Amino acid sequence: MRVREIMTANPATVRTSATLVECARLMRDKDIGSVIVCDDAARPVGVVTDRDIVVRAVAVDSGPRPKQIGDIVSSNPVSVTADAEVDDAIQIMRTRHVRRLLVLDGGRAVGIVSLGDLAKVRDPKSVLGEISAAAPNH
């Protein structure tokens, strides 16, 4: 099985200059927990999660709070190609200790694969597989 078969295609992206509020609203509106952050040339430079916004921005006590996503983005994202084998993606996630992989084609983000995506395919009866396959609860 290839990554393209399980990835979430057309992932949500924001520029590094996007505000925290803009990014949080995008996550809310799309019911997602992570967004790919791109530079001005639309090349992915990192990933930001809802947890990143809370821990790296909202919960900051000292000094001014970050205003732009570029200030809190987790840089150097781990990636695979859409043609990669799912087993290879699993191994990369395991060795790099990441919960999601960017799927790139020619340096552009074309998808994202999460632990939940893998669980839905590999272990659909597991708690994570069932939760990941469930409809949104908002």
Residue range 116-134: average pLDDT? 70
How do 8-9 and 108-114 pair as beta strands? antiparallel
Residue 50 and residue 27 in contact, taking contact as beta carbons nearer than 8 Å: yes
pLDDT over threshold 80, residue 137: no
Q: What is the DSSP letter of 2?
A: B
Homologous superfamily in CATH for domain 3-133:
CBS-domain (3.10.580.10)
86-96 vs 115-122: helix crossing angle, rounded to 10: 130
Predicted confidence at residue 2, as pLDDT, reads 96
pLDDT-above-70 percentage for the chain: 87
Q: How many CA atoms lie within 13 A of 80 on its CB side?
A: 25
**Domain spans of the chain, in order of start:** 3-133
pTM: 0.85
DSSP 8-state class, residue 6:
T
Cα dist from 107 to 37, 44, 84, 103, 111, whole Å: 13, 8, 15, 9, 12
